[in-house]
Chains A and B, each alone.
Chain A
Amino acid sequence: MNTAAGGPGDPPAPRPRRKKVVLADSRAPVTVLRTVVELEEQTSWAEEVVRSFIRTQFRAAVKFAVGTLLLFGALPLTFYVFPELSDVEFAGVSLPWLLLGVAPFPVLFIIGYWYNVVAESNERDFVDMVEK
C-alpha cells in the first residue's frame, strides 16, 4: 500500500515529489540526457542538428502550402479561361458550385490530416535520432 497517497480524511499535505534512485545504470538514459543537455547548451553539433530538423519541417510545410495554393489558385484561372465549365452539371448543380461550395472542405481536411502524419513522423525521427 502506498501510504504517501493519504486517505480521503487526511489533511491535504504537500506530497514530496517521488524520486527515482538508480545505481550505476550505464545504459541508454545517460546518452539521452547527454544529447538533451547538449541540445540545450547549443554545441555546434546540436546547432547543426536542430537547424537541419527545422529545415525538414519547413520543407514539409512549404510543400503542402504550395500544393494547396496551386490546387486552389488554379480554380479562378480555369473558370476565367473556360467559362463554359459553368454549363456542366452534376445532379442539377453546376460544376463550379460543386468545386467551390462542397469539394474544398473535405480536400482541406485531407491535406491537413496528411500533413499531420508527415510532421509527426518527422518529429519521431528526430527524437529517435537524439535518443539513439
Chain B
Amino acid sequence: MELNAWAVVAIGVVGLATFSLGFRSSRLASTTQDFLVARRTVRSRRNAAAISGEYLSAASFLGVAGLVLKDGADALWYPIGFTAGYLTLMLFVAAPLRRSGAYTLPDFCEARLGSAGLRRLATATVVFIGILYLVPQFQGAGLTVHQILPSVPSWSGAVLVAVLVIVNVFGGGMRAVTLVQAFQYWLKLFAIAAPTFIMCVLFFGQGGVNGLGATGLSEPLPPRFTRDAVVTVETDVVLQVKDGVWLSASGTVDNAPAAGRVYWGPGDHVVDEGTELRFSEGSETPVVHPAALDNASWLRPVNGTGDLFTTYSLIIGLFLGTMGLPHVLVRFYTNPDGKAARRTTLHVLLLLGLFYVFPILLGALSRVYAPELLVAGRTDAAVLALPMKIAPNALGEILGAVTAAGAFAAFLSTSSGLVVSVAGVLSTDILKGRVRDFRFGTALAGGVPLALALVLRPSDISLSIGMTFALAASTFSPVLLLGIWWRKITWVGAAAGMVVGGTMVLTSIVITTVSGYTGGWAPSFLQQPALATVPIAFLVVMVTSKATQGRIPPDTNRIRLRMHAPDRLGFIRDRDIARFGTAEERTRLANGRHRR
C-alpha cells in the first residue's frame, strides 16, 4: 500500500484540534486551585465522555478487532471485561472513593491507613503499572504509522509519537482537561462507527461471504484468500496449515532457504523474519501459531479446559483491574460528590457499550477480507488495513484515513493521560514537586516505556494490556476494596498484599516474556494469572491485617463515616485543599461543607 495522503491529513487534523482545544481550555483554568475547583462542577454526562475518552486506548481501538480476528469468540471477553470493570468500580469504589477526598491511589492509601511507607509502595506500583500500560500504546502508535507509511520502520513511529506526547505534556497543552478527553471519545466513536457502517453495507452489497468466494465463518475450514496476496513476515513466526497449500516463498522456511514454489503439508511451519510469501486466490490461509485454525473453532467459544481457565482468569483480571489503573481514578475526582461519581460511572457503562460493538464487527469482517494479517501475525492492524481490502479505491483510502485518525486519537489521549498521572506522582511523591521536577518526571514517564516498546517484541496489544489489568487487580484492588469496606485492614496487611500479589504477576510476566523469545515453553495460564493471584493477594491482606490488629489507625471510624455517609450530610473533605492553594482559600474551602 502506498502513502495514504488522506490519513496523514486526518491525523494532522486530529492532532491540531486536540492541541488547540487543550490550549484554549487550559487558558481558562490557569492556577491549581481554579483548575481543581472548576473540575468539581463537571456534569456527569461530560465527565463520563471524558473518562471513556481517556480509557479507550490502543487496546480497545486496535487490539479488540485484532484479537477477534485471531481468536474469535474467546476474544469477546476483552470488551466485556473492559466494560464490566466499571460496574465493579461503581458497585464498590466510585462513591466512597470520591467522598474520601483522595486524589490519587497513593493518596488514598495514606488517608485511609495513615502510613507514609505504604504511600511510597503505592507510588512505586502506580509508576510501574503506568509504564507497563504505556508500552503497548507506543507500540500501537508505531504500528499505525507503519501502516500508513510502509516505508517507515515501526520504531520511528513509536519514537515520533512518544516525543509528541512528551512535548505536549511539557508545554501543558495536553493537560488532562475534561473537554479535550470528552472530545476524544466522540471522535473515536465516530472514527470507528462510520467506517463500520459503510463497510458492512459494502460487504452485503458484494453478496456477503458467498459473493466473495471466502470461507463461511461457521465452516470447519481455514479462511481463504479472496485475491492474490503477498505477505512479508516481519518477525519470526510459526504458521499452522490445516489441509496443505501451494505457495511461492523467498527467504528462510523451516530453517532452510526457500525460493520459488513450495508445498506446505498439514502441520507447523517455521518462517523466519524477512521472508516473502505469495499466495494465489482461493488458497488456504496458514495461521500464526496459537490462533484459531479453522473458522468453525474460531466461531465456537471455549475449546478445551485450557481455554476455560484462561477465560475465567481474564474475567477476574478485567473485572477487578480497572479500579487499579492510575489514570482512571484521577478522573473520578472531578465529580462534585459521591452520588455524581456513581452516575458518571453509569454513563461510562453506556458509552463503552456503544463503542465496543464496532471493533467486534470489524474483527469479524477482517476474518473474511484480510486473512493475510493472520499469516504475518499482524492482527492488530486489522482496523487500519480492512478499509483498503473492502474498497480498494478512493473510498477505502478515506475510510482508512478515518480509522487511522481514530487510532491516533486513542493512543494520544490514553498515553497523555498516563504520562501526566505518572509524572504527577513521580514529581510530588518522589521528587520535590517543582515544575522542573514535573518535566523531569514527564521525560522519565515517556522515555522508559518508549525504550521498553523498542526493545520488546510487539506482542498483541490486548494481551499485554490484559497483563497490566492482572497486575492492577492483584495489587490495588484488594487494598481499595478492603480499605473501603473492611474496618480491620491495617497498613501492614495492605503492603503485604500488594507486595505478594505484585511479585506473583511480575514473575509470570518475566517468565512469559523470556519463554516468548525461547520457544514459547511457558504454560498458557501464566499469560493470564489473575485467577490465582487475585484471591491470594486478598487472602494475604486479610491474614496479615488480622495478625497486626494493633495497627488499625485510630481515626478509622471517622474516615469510614466520611467515605460512606450520604453526600447531603456533608462529611466530604477534599485532601488537596489542605495541601494546595493560598491560606485564605484553604480556610474558605475547608469551612464550607459540601452541602448540596
Contacts and interface: CB of A to CB of B under 8 A. Distances in A.
A108 B83 CA distance: 8
A43 to B, nearest CB: 11
A108 B90 CA distance: 11
A50 to B, nearest CB: 5
A38 to B, nearest CB: 11
A47 B92 CA distance: 21
A76 B311 CA distance: 7
B342 A116 contact: yes
A41 B156 CA distance: 61
B277 interface: no
B213 interface: no
Contacts of A65: 88, 91-92
Interface in B83-114: 83-84, 86-88, 90-92, 95
Given A73-B315, A94-B299, A100-B73, A116 B87 contact: no
Given A54-B564, A105-B357, A112-B90, A100 B83 contact: no
Contacts of B88: 65
Given A39-B569, A42-B558, A124-B566, A72 B84 contact: yes
A65 B566 CA distance: 21
A80 interface: yes
Nearest to A110: B349
A102 interface: yes
Nearest to A125: B566
B557 A47 contact: yes
Contacts of A69: 319
A8 B350 CA distance: 43
Contacts of A80: 302, 305, 307-308
A53 B88 CA distance: 20
B77 interface: yes
Given A50-B561, A116-B342, A120-B339, A101 B76 contact: yes
Q: Is the interface of A mostly helix, strand, loop or mixed?
A: helix
A30 interface: no
Nearest to B352: A105
B42 interface: no
Interface string A94-127: 1011001110111011011101100110011011
Contact of A104 (B80, B218, B343): B80
Contacts of A119: 95, 342
Contacts of B261: none
Interface string A70-97: 0011011101100100110000001011
Interface string B332-352: 000000010011011001101
Contact of A72 (B80, B349, B352, B360): B80
A130 B77 CA distance: 44
Contacts of B357: 101-102, 105
Contacts of B315: 72-73, 76
Contact of B343 (A47, A116, A124): A116
A76 B302 CA distance: 7
Interface in B540-594: 557-558, 560-561, 564-571
B87 A112 contact: yes
A58 interface: yes
B76 A108 contact: no
A97 B76 contact: yes
B427 to A, nearest CB: 33
Interface in A35-67: 36, 39-40, 42, 46-47, 50-51, 53-54, 57-58, 61, 64-65
29 contacts: A42-B557, A42-B561, A50-B557, A50-B560, A53-B564, A68-B87, A69-B319, A73-B312, A73-B315, A76-B302, A76-B311, A79-B73, A80-B302, A80-B305, A80-B308, A86-B299, A86-B301, A87-B218, A97-B76, A100-B73, A100-B77, A104-B80, A105-B353, A109-B346, A109-B349, A109-B350, A113-B346, A115-B90, A127-B568
Interface of A: 36, 39-40, 42, 46-47, 50-51, 53-54, 57-58, 61, 64-65, 68-69, 72-73, 75-77, 79-80, 83, 86-87, 94, 96-97, 100-102, 104-106, 108-109, 111-113, 115-116, 119-120, 123-124, 126-127, 130
Given A80-B305, A100-B73, A105-B356, 17 more contacts: A39-B571, A40-B558, A50-B557, A53-B564, A53-B565, A57-B564, A64-B91, A65-B91, A69-B319, A76-B311, A76-B312, A77-B308, A83-B302, A86-B73, A94-B218, A108-B80, A116-B346
